[in-house]
Each structure stands twice: as C-alpha cells, then as structure tokens.
Amino acid sequence: MNPKIWLSSPHMGGEELNFVNQAFDTNWIAPLGPNVNGFEEDLQNYTGVKHAAALSSGTAALHLALIMLGVKQDDEVICQSLTFSATANPIAYQGAVPIFIDSENKTWNMDPNILEDAVKDRIAKGKEPKAIIYVHLYGMPALINDIMEVANKYEIPLIEDAAEALGSRYLSREMRNISKNGLSREININSEDLAKLKAEENKIELNPSEKIISLGEHVGGFSDIGILSFNGNKIITTSGGGALISNKEEFVTKARFLATQARDNAPHYQHSQIGYNYRMSNIVAGIGRGQMKVIDKRVEQRRANYDFYKDQFTKFDGITFLDEPVGHFSNRWLTTFLVDSNKTNGVSRENIRLELEKYNIESRPLWKPMHKQPVFQNALNFTNGTSEKLFEDGLCLPSGSNLSEDDLARIVGIIFSILTRGQNADK
C-alpha cells in the first residue's frame, strides 16, 4: 500500500526536545513554569500583541473570552457559520444562543453586510448581541476593517478566532496613516500591494517616521480578544493547546486567573467564583517554544504548497483557488480549491476526494456550515447560500510543511488523472 499522506501532520523543528528536557531536568512538570512563561513571551514578540495566556486549547480560550465579556444564559452571540464547531460550542457552554452569519466570496469569512443586517434585526427585536465571533478561515484574514466598523458602530465586543491563522497578516486601513496614542509605528506592506493600493486609492499617506516593511500586522490582535490553537494539525503544535491574546492586559490577567481554577490570593484554597482547569502544561509549552523557532519557515513552506498546487491546476477549467485580496497575507494553513462540476465534465469535489482516499491520501471537504449541523439545526441564521455552496464544492488538499516533492507530485498526478478523464469524456 502507498504510504499515507496526511492532510496536515505535525512537523518538528529539532529544538522542541531541548525545552521538554529542561522541564524534566528542573522538575517543572506542572501547568506553569519557565516554558509556559517563555512560550507566552514568544507569542507576544512574534504577533506584536501585548499580552498572551497559554491555555489547554483554543476552545478553552474562546470559552474564557465569552465569560470575560459577560455572556450568560440566553444571551445572543453572533458567530461565523463556515467554521469548525469549536468556534460555536463555547457559546452553548454558557447557555447562550448562537446567531450564525454567512460568508462572503473574497475570503470565505464572515460577510460584513450580512453581519450588519443581523445586528440591526436583533436590536430591533430587543436582543442586542453580547459578542461577535469571526474567523480567519484556513489562514485567510477576514475583512477585518469592515467587520470592526460594524462592531464599533453598534458597540459590540469582538472575538477574533485566529486558531488557523498564526503567521497570517492584515493591512488595516488605519495602518496607512497611523499615529496611535501619539506614537508612530512601522507600516508593514510589500511593494506589490503598495502599488495596488496606490492604484486603487490614488494615494497612501505615511507619517515621516513610519517605515515600509513586509505586510501588515498579525491577525489575532485587531479585536478585543483573539484566540490561537496549537492542535496537532495546526501550522505549529504543542500536541494540544491554545492561547488567548489581547492588547488589553485585564483580559489576559483574568484569563489566567479563571484558567487556574479561579483560586483567590489566600494561604488556603479559596474560590469566590467558578474556575476552570485550562492552563497549558510546562511540558507541552516546551514543544511550543521549539516550534516558534521555525514558524516563519512553516508559513513559507505552506505558502509554497499553495503556489505549487495553483500553478499545476491553472490549465483545468472549473478549478479555482482562493486568492489573497489586497492587504491580506495568508499563512495558507490549508490549501483549498473549488470544483465546478459543470466545467469539469461532471467531476465533483467528492469524486476527487474519494480518488485520493483510494490511494491513501487524506483530503477533506471544507467545513460544513454550523447552521447546517444537526446540533445547531434550530439556531437562527442569516445566510444566502454562500457557505453552503462553498461546502458543496470545496476541498482541502494535503498541506503539511513536511510534504516532499514526491508527495506533492503524487497528489497532483492523481487529481490530474481524474480531471483529465473528465475532460476527455466528451471528446
């Protein structure tokens, strides 16, 4: 049998074991310690977000975010529909009510226009949402500026689910002319996007002290609270883990407190509120510290996978990839494409998936929208069919940073074969 090619498998960099051994050598075998502190600092330094709490999972981070924003029984929380269930499940943990929002076609993330329609509808019915959760799907930054404008207009807190997007960046409109709190900052933008922006807007203003470097600010820090995931299939992993990040210190301080069973500052065990066992182990944090040494390389490798796939399939009608809009830089956690069976002589996304499976290659459909999931079948949704169509036509291809050239050639060859058979069917 052909060796298994996974969708996205862990990829160690070589230094992880050094940090793990340090934990054993110093007996820091606990959900706190130097590796936890160091990993949090690594995340802060890498993302530019001021504060980070390392936690047991991204789901735990979302749960704590909702708690800190005061979400309670029967409150309504707006949530992107096209996402993994972990985005929506913490809403249910709180006994709150999810309101699902459809996607737009530029990034496949939350549609800001539908978002505003939903907010206006709920406010008109006396149900002002307590929070909005939006996602950077497969590493592609959402239309952050437009979503933030809606949230700010109606004064609704924002939670940024960047579980799939560590290493992704976004050039906000504010970054084109920034002086925040009287302090100028660097502007991150590459020359190609700068030319596009100039062409689109006829000008781009920079303060004299601002410097043009790569592209945008890291996602996760644009909203009140951001969350990250380090599950085994993510761009870096701690085996299992996550983080809550924010530029507001009070959120991260409170998250650490709640995640450590909400133990009061007393010589005995005293608790004035409900707490959770959500802190990250010092051992797995050591894996994370080693992984942070190679994060840029992992982003580069996954982006190269995307470029390779796209280049190989340009000759086939009916195969389309998700391009980066101006100002968006995706980590390309997973490479995805859409299959239009009307243009591939009947070859569907499912035909391709099953053909790959036959040769021991893992691929998966895009996320099934939350409003179509049995567990949320009665939830209110504001949708127009976009996410349902994406789910029907979309396929996630093997995207690991450890894929070899032979692996990629094998994957492409099998897809070529089925598409070519389809193209030749009417000849």
Q: Per the structure block, which two tokens stand in for 52?
A: 């980070």
Q: Per the structure block, which two tokens stand in for 367?
A: 């996320």
Edge-to-edge order in the sheet of strand 394-397: 319-321, 335-339, 394-397, 364-365
- CA separation for the pair 161, 233 (Å, rounded): 16
* pLDDT for position 2: 85
* pLDDT for position 201: 43
- pLDDT at residue 199 tops 90: no
Other C-beta atoms closer than 10 Å to the C-beta of 307 total: 13
- pLDDT at residue 215 tops 70: no
How much is the mean pLDDT over the chain?
Answer: 92
> Given the DSSP bridges, would you call strands 76-80 and 131-135 parallel, antiparallel or unpaired?
parallel
- CA separation for the pair 128, 76 (Å, rounded): 7
Domain range list for the chain: 16-171+218-293, 173-215, 296-424
**Per mean pLDDT, which range of 46-50, 181-185, 384-388 is the poorest?**
181-185
| pLDDT category of residue 175 using cuts at 50, 70 and 90 | low
pLDDT in tens, 278-318: 999 999 999 999 999 999 999 999 999 999 999 999 989 99
Is the fold of 16-171+218-293 the same as that of 296-424?
no
Fold of the CATH domain 296-424: Aspartate Aminotransferase, domain 1 (3.90.1150)
Fold of the CATH domain 16-171+218-293: Aspartate Aminotransferase; domain 2 (3.40.640)
Residue 7 near residue 334, CB atoms below 8 Å: yes
pLDDT in tens, 69-97: 999 999 999 999 999 999 999 999 999 99
Taking residues 215-222, what's their average pLDDT?
92
Rounded to two decimals, the pTM is: 0.90
Q: Which residues are registered as beta bridge partners of 321? A: 337
Percent of the chain with pLDDT over 70: 89
**Per mean pLDDT, which range of 88-102, 198-212, 337-351, 372-386 is the poorest?**
198-212
